[in-house]
Structure 1
Amino acid sequence: MKILMFIYCMHCGGAERTTASLANEWVARGADVTVVSIESTDVDFYPLHPAVRRIALNAASVSPGALAALGANFERVRALREVLRELKPDVVLGIMTVASVLAILATRGLPCKVIATEHTHPPMLPLSRTWQQLRRWTFRSADLVVALTGDSKHWLEKNCECTDVCVIPPPFTLPIPRLEPTLMPDAVVGRDRRVLLAVGRLSEEKGFHNLIDAFSSIVSTVSAWDLVIVGEGDERPALQKQIDDADLRDRIHLPGRAGNIADWYERADLYVLSSRFEGFPMALTEAMASGIAAVSYDCDCGPRDIIRHGENGLLVKEVGDTRMLAEALQRLMLSDVERLRLATRAAGLRESFSLDKAISLWRDAFVAAGVEETRRVGA
């Protein structure tokens, strides 16, 4: 099978990581895979199998106005269409909204199938009115649309009038690959400390300001614990000021981005997700599959697909409520028995969200999109 995956860039991010994981696995299983990006390869973060063909359109730009933006996207569609005519893939996967819209437009009249994908919960993704309309207009003509959760599936069916939508959670593999940069836990916290771990981009939607407030309110009752937020982003100055104002620089750490996140999962005693919304929280899945008990806001969307409250983790119903989050964290920090019970059951996610299961679901998706039929007629 010839698969072409089209994405804006291959920088550090959940959709980019999923793209690399799927591309590498499909190639290993004998498929012909190409990853095409709008942006250059200079920002590539996740390693690709040597057999994965990598093409960059080098067409990323900031347009000064609507007319310029229209022209830039016309050129992107034209450039992608040239690649499609040359490679003749059986199926094109658009990765995220913009790439999916452009992929659907570029494949018009060509014999290949096209699958659009969403990697966050659509109503939570800030899009201009133009792109919202384009998604609504184009997604219904895709051969298939793939969402990460049932909530996103229902939204797409209702708001984009898509009739063919399936759910495929992002895959993960154990052991988790170790990448650069390396940031060892012992360089941040002492071995005698217990670690409450959060992982993610330091941005507003991750709700780390609420997490810091919640931890600050119980810090005196959990004296053996430190909070570590691994990640980088624009909110660093504001979060660091919040920590400094609370005089908790020795108890709350922002060490930066870590490519060796598996070492942090191994070191952590409890994981927390404080996001206002998610597409599908891969870090939460990985942490739990690594055998860590977890607490998460019951945000849209993803955590409720992963955590069964009271069985393999705790869900905090009121998103943004720091008191409820603090109570849930304190409950597990002060109970080794309950924390171990939840951690043991959390490890069962290794099978639920395994790469093998994701590949099987994608195989079904290709059949549903008619890819096998296209291959038989020689496209």
Structure 2
Amino acid sequence: MPIDLAPTAGTDPARPIGDGASVTAKLRVAMVLPGLGPGGSEGVVSFIANIWAERGWHVSVVTLEGGLAPAYYPIDPRVDIRRLDVPVRRSHLLRALWMAAKRVRLLRREFQLGSPDLIISFLTRTNVLTLLATRDLGIPVIVSERNNPELQTVGPTWSWLRRRLYPSAFGLVTMTKGAMNLFPPKLRARDWVIPNQVNLPTDLQPNRGNKIVAAVGRLVPQKGFDLLLDAFARIAATHPDWSLVIWGEGPERNRLTAQRDKLGLRDRVLFPGVSERPGVWIETADVFVLSSRYEGWGIVLMEAMAAGLPVIAFDCRFGPGEMITDGEDGLLVPSGDVDALATAFSRLIGDESLRRQLGDGAAHSALRFTSERIMERWDEVIRAAVARQGPG
């Protein structure tokens, strides 16, 4: 069932946050995440931080990464970016424990110096570190899960810490109802389901008619690009003028390119890496496909729909089934079913009128997830936190 994002009764995103008190110009918000590279969570944080900074709030984005590399997504210069230079890397157990303790210590010092009115943390491990760092500080912390917690494993230690610490958070945000239902009530004092927003770059220059199927994501098993290659191989000979472009980077690159070559698709499938700027993959695509084994939401799917692209997606947990009404604004196929994906491929790329029909439906459907509607939901979170703290 698609998500209903009708505005909450009485919600006015322009009004001051918190029972009429004029606190908006003074509100101090800290947002925490591992880094500011390409990715759905990074895009969400940049989007929210920019809007709150425009209101005159003091917004800091605290990351674990080091260096001065520019953020992938545009960030308002009024947002204070704080890099702690303790990036997440694989290491042996003792060093991992030592680094985790160092991250907690640096986060705690950052919060003590910055004195935020509230903290919003993104991604499981960062959420745990943030909750450890804020113990006894009296600052409300909202934790946000950004994937499918049922299938994205974080290991027994982090899972145990999550069970112990999440009850101390002010509240929990997930992107789907399905993900929220995986957390029992005792782990969430308050909860909000807030999908990702659609916030396409304004400088896109679509160039349709290239007969390109696009897919986007980190090159990891979760994204199911191995399944996608198998499906495309089954219809490649029937549609010899179509190509597949898989945008993204990750540890599975060598394995995926070897699979492509073994399937005889070297000249038909490209792996160009991360797009030069956000959303540029939309410009040359004629069809978009999401082949993920599981998702937290699947923001690239909604971006494709907002751009008026016809889309195909595995009906994986969670996200696609809440965005797509099969046959009206896209094609949904059973999760992991390569034969069904190949059939949907052949049907869509072989029928121009169907592509046009589904693309128009997708663009209309995406209006449910405009920036304004999603910000209303985040403002509800802020109101709850400010009201909890009381006047002053």
Instruction: State whether TM-score is above 0.5.
Output: yes
Query: What's the RMSD between the two structures over aligned residues?
Result: 2.2
Structure 2 match to 1:120: 147
What is aligned with 2:382?
366
**2:260 is equivalent to residue 246 of structure 1:** no
> Contact (CA 8 Å) 1:333, 1:339: kept in 2 or not?
yes
1:327 correspondence with 2:343: yes
Say if 1:157 and 1:165, in contact at 8 Å, map to a contact too: no
1:7–1:94 CA contact under 8 A, matched in 2: yes
Indicate the residue corresponding to 2:18 in structure 1: none
1:92 matched residue in structure 2: 119
Alpha carbons of 1:177 and 1:204: their partners in 2 closer, same or farther (altered >3 Å)? farther
In structure 2, distance between residues paired with 1:52 and 1:119: 22
Task: Measure the CA separation in 2 of the matches of 1:293 and 1:28.
Answer: 34
What does residue 105 of structure 1 align with? 132
- In structure 2, the residue corresponding to 1:196 is in which secondary structure? strand
Are the counterparts in 1 of residues 200 and 279 from structure 2 also a CA contact under 8 Å?
Answer: no
CA contact (8 A) 2:61 2:82 kept: yes
Q: In the TM superposition, what is the alpha-carbon distance from 1:290 to its structure 2 partner?
A: 0.2
User: Which position in structure 1 is the counterpart of 2:98?
Assistant: 71
Q: Secondary structure at the match of 1:112?
A: coil
Maintained 8 Å contact 2:198/2:306: no
> Residue 39 of structure 1 corresponds to which residue in structure 2?
65
Instruction: Note the 1:332-343 alignment, pairs <5 A.
Output: 332-343=348-359
Q: Distance in 2 between matches of 1:174 and 1:8?
A: 23
Q: Deviations over 1:214-237 (max 9, x none)?
A: 111111222331111112222222
Distance 1:343 1:313 in 2: 8
1:277 deviates by 0.9
Cα shift at 1:161: 3.1
Q: What corresponds to 2:391 in structure 1?
A: 376
Pairing 1:211–2:234 present: no
Give the letter aligned to residue 266 of structure 2: R
**For the residues of structure 2 that align with 1:28 and 1:361, how far apart are their CA atoms?**
18
- Cα distance in structure 1, aligned partners of 2:91 and 2:278: 38
Q: CA deviation at 1:150?
A: 0.7
**Does 2:348 align with 1:348?**
no
CA offsets 1:171-228 (integer angstroms, 9 cap, x no match): 23133577xxxxx999xxxx86411111111222111111111111111222331111
Matches of 2:359 and 2:88, distance apart in 1? 45
C-alpha change, 1:283 and 1:338, in structure 2 (3 Å) is same
Per-residue deviation at 1:274? 0.6
Which segments of 5 or more consecutive residues in structure 2 lack a partner in the other structure?
A: 1-26
CA distance in 2, matches of 1:38, 1:251: 39
Aligned letter for 1:107? T
Question: 1:363 and 1:61, CA in 2 relative to 1: closer, same or farther beyond 3 A?
Answer: closer
| Correspondences of 1:141-220 after superposition (within 5 Å) | 141-157=168-184, 161-175=187-201, 193-220=210-237
* Partner residue, 1:181: none
Q: 2:166 aligns with which of 139, 143, 147?
A: 139
Aligned to 2:11: none
Q: Alpha carbons of 1:222 and 1:155: their partners in 2 closer, same or farther (altered >3 Å)?
A: same
Contact kept in structure 2, 1:266 and 1:290, CA below 8 Å: no
Q: CA deviation at 1:330?
A: 1.0
Could you say which residue in structure 2 is the equivalent of 1:22? 48
2:266 is equivalent to residue 285 of structure 1: no
CA distance, structure 2, for counterparts of residue 216 and residue 197 of structure 1: 15
**Secondary structure in 2 matching 1:254:** strand
Does the Cα contact within 8 Å between 1:157 and 1:163 map onto a contact in 2? Answer: no
CA apart distance, 1:63: 7.4
- Residues 41 and 162 of structure 1, relative CA distance in 2, 3 Å threshold: same
Deviation (angstroms), 1:122: 0.9
Instruction: Please give the TM-score of this superposition, normalised by the length of structure 1.
Output: 0.90
How big is the shift at 1:60? 3.0
- Give CA-to-partner distance per residue, 1:314-345, whole Å, 9 cap, x none: 1111x222111000111111111222111101
Long gaps (5+) in structure 1: 179-183
Deviation at 1:300, TM superposition (A): 1.3
Q: In 2 relative to 1, CA 73–256 (structure 1 residues): closer, same or farther, beyond 3 Å? A: closer
Shift of the alpha carbon at 1:254? 1.6
In 2, the alpha carbon distance for the partners of 1:226 and 1:70 equals 46
Q: Residues of 1 paired with 2:258 and 2:97: CA distance? A: 41
**Whose relative contact order is higher, 1 or 2, with alpha carbons under 8 Å and at least 6 apart?**
2
Deviation string for 1:128-153 (max 9, x for gaps)? 21100111111111111000111111
Among candidates 227, 235, 243, match of residue 244 of structure 2: 227
| Residue type at the aligned position of 2:41 | A
Distance change in 2, residues 1:120/1:192 (3 Å): closer
Q: 1:46 is paired with a residue of what secondary structure?
A: coil
Equivalent residues of 1:40, 1:58 under 8 A apart: yes
**Cα distance, 1:29 vs. partner?**
2.1
Matches of 2:88 and 2:181, distance apart in 1: 33
Number of equivalent positions: 365
Amino acid at match of 2:128: V
Q: Of the candidates 288, 291, 296, which is equivalent to residue 271 of structure 1?
A: 288
SS of equivalent to 1:84: helix
Does 2:335 match 1:309? no
